[in-house]
Structure 1
Amino acid sequence: MAPAEVFAPTLREVMLRPWWIGMLLFALAVAAVFAWLGQWQLGRSIDTNPPPPGITETVKPIVEALPPGQYLPEPLVGQRVDVVGSFVADDFAVVSSRFNDGVEGYWVTAQLRLDSAGLPVPTSIATAVGWTANRATADAAASALDALAGSAVSLTGRLISDEGPALPPRGGAVTDMSRMSPAALLGMWHDTTDLNVYRPYLVADGGDSLAGIVAASGLAGIDSPAPAQGSNVNWLNVFYAVEWAIFAGFAFYMWYRLARDAWEKEVEALEEAAGSTPQEVET
């Protein structure tokens, strides 16, 4: 009697087997998790309560804007504040790679010891007080401004995030700075025992004392425009949401690919078995 003919299963028949139905349910669960993550990421990509335009231009006392020791949140970058305090002697430093109206030059910076109700004592903020295109002028201004140390000053300016410390330029002195970093300046300041320090720095652009400081030092005022109005859409989060959607689709693709591979191997095995004769087996 001739052996019964064995027919190869179709891909659909393989996919409907209990094992692959179970794998499909697992793929559905994985895709559901990825879809939820994508929806969560998309919900975070749009700021439904953005700050009003021009909010940074309303001058606030610094104690109302941000306490010392905290990072500057994005809505407050460029916030104008007023401060009252005095410069600390021998803590005027020069920072290079500063641009004023597109011209590269130098900032003269200072440790401003704050004198405001509501702030812990002592508290300081790194302050950029003026700009010049010439390094020699900047060094001379830093020395001249020591005469104002201890005198009360009242300034208005913008809060800007720490740019982070950097190595000094090749061949330069270890005190040369090309980034405005309160963390780096703190390492060079005097009288820092138990000192509270603001993480952002202040770019002075007005106030009762600024004109006299600029005139006494030969510096120019720092060009400090209002920050550009940002979009209320976080495109990075949108990109992440798209990635999660792709991962969800990939879960189904993996299930299909594995099921197809299993079907192809089964069909190939049946074809090989059907093509083998008794003589071929004996040899």
Structure 2
Amino acid sequence: MTTPDQLAATEPEVFPPTLREVMLRPRWIALLLLCLVIAGVFAWLGQWQLSRSIDTNPPPPGATEIVRPLAEVAGPGEYLPEPLVGQRVTAEGTWVSDDFLVVASRFNDGAPGYWVTGQLRLADTEEPTSIAVALGWAATPEDAQDAITELAQDAADTPVEVTGRLISDEGPALPPDDGDPFTMTRMSSAALLGQWSDIAGLAVYRPYIAAEVATAGLVDIASPAPAEGSGINWLNIFYAAEWAIFAGFAFYIWYRLARDQWEKELEDIEDAAAGAS
């Protein structure tokens, strides 16, 4: 009769696999190749972000202080690129006498007040084209309305030339809950367009001009030169670092899955040995 000890002696001894042996199996090698492809895509995206993080052709120092024609800097409907924000420009046209409007919550050297704005209908354009202009600052709404009255009287088909800084649109905002529903607190070409007259077929610039010299008894708008940029986009560098982390994480996932499989096989062997004993 065969004893249990003799039966156990006849069974082949099972050797647990090593982690290296598990990783070299065809299944895990195929998964590693997939991870290499994914990591390669992430590395390419990181390289692309890194190439966009450094401006190899930055504008020369003081470029924003050179007065340029508006049409050379931007076109109707276009967003203003970052290097051109604050660029001094000149534009010629006529004021639309019914479209002088007030924008509240405007600070001038720290003092709260109001901007008087106008629709400048540009000259020498193939289609009707306008740009919003902030003409000057007033301390009270009454002063702003007095300036609008004077501007409207002098605006009739009188050619003007405006010089000022080209500033990005601030976007519209809801009026105060307890105020006039037409009150504007942001310098937004879209919001102004909603209150302008004679806008059929009109092309409009997204940015606006902050005039250097105020008119109609208004105060000049404080608009200092923009700070010189470093030519390095740190946000893009951060994105490039993120893609590098993602590429490394793909390999970590592969390693973690292979290790989990190895540990599971060790547990199965231990459980089988414990059941046989």
* TM-score calculated relative to the size of structure 1: 0.90
Shift of 1:255: 0.9
Distance 1:20 1:64, change over 3 A: closer
| Secondary structure, aligned partner of 2:103 | strand
Q: Deviations over 1:68-106 (max 9, x none)?
A: 222222222111111222211121111012121121211
- Assess if the C-alpha contact under 8 Å between 1:87 and 1:148 holds in 2: no
Distance, in Å, in 2 between the alignment partners of 1:122 and 1:25 is: 59
Distance, in Å, in 2 between the alignment partners of 1:277 and 1:224 is: 86
| 114, 119, 135: which one aligns with 2:141 | 135
Shift of 1:144: 2.5
Q: Deviations over 1:126-183 (max 9, x none)?
A: 1111101212211222222211122222221111111111111121112100001111
Distance, in Å, in 2 between the alignment partners of 1:257 and 1:69 is: 51
Question: Does 2:195 match 1:195?
Answer: no
| 70, 89, 106: which one aligns with 1:98 | 106
Question: Does 2:242 match 1:235?
Answer: no
Distance, in Å, in 2 between the alignment partners of 1:197 and 1:36 is: 39
| 13, 27, 30: which one aligns with 1:19 | 27
| Secondary structure, aligned partner of 2:212 | strand
| 15, 34, 38: which one aligns with 1:30 | 38
Distance, in Å, in 1 between the alignment partners of 2:22 and 2:92 is: 79
| Secondary structure, aligned partner of 2:218 | coil
Greater shift, 176-185 or 57-66, is seen at 57-66
- Identity across the alignment (%): 64
User: Match for 2:227: what amino acid?
Assistant: A
The answer for the alignment partner of 1:267 in structure 2 is: 266
Task: Summarize the alignment of residues 1-283 of structure 1 with structure 2, pairs less than 5 Å apart.
Answer: 1=6, 2=9, 3-115=11-123, 117=124, 119-150=125-156, 151-206=158-213, 210=214, 213=215, 217-277=216-276
Shift of 1:186: 1.0
Shift of 1:190: 1.3
* TM-score calculated relative to the size of structure 2: 0.92
- Assess if the C-alpha contact under 8 Å between 1:86 and 1:113 holds in 2: yes
| Secondary structure, aligned partner of 1:276 | helix
**Tell me, which stretches of 5 or more residues in structure 2 are unaligned?**
1-5
User: Match for 1:143: what amino acid?
Assistant: T
User: Match for 2:205: what amino acid?
Assistant: Y
Distance, in Å, in 2 between the alignment partners of 1:32 and 1:197 is: 44
User: Match for 2:65: what amino acid?
Assistant: E
| Secondary structure, aligned partner of 1:36 | helix
User: Match for 2:185: what amino acid?
Assistant: S
Greater shift, 120-129 or 64-73, is seen at 64-73
The answer for the alignment partner of 1:281 in structure 2 is: none
RMSD, aligned CA: 1.5
Shift of 1:120: 2.3
Distance, in Å, in 1 between the alignment partners of 2:224 and 2:257 is: 59
| Secondary structure, aligned partner of 2:21 | helix
Distance, in Å, in 1 between the alignment partners of 2:77 and 2:271 is: 74
- Assess if the C-alpha contact under 8 Å between 1:120 and 1:196 holds in 2: no
User: Match for 1:132: what amino acid?
Assistant: A
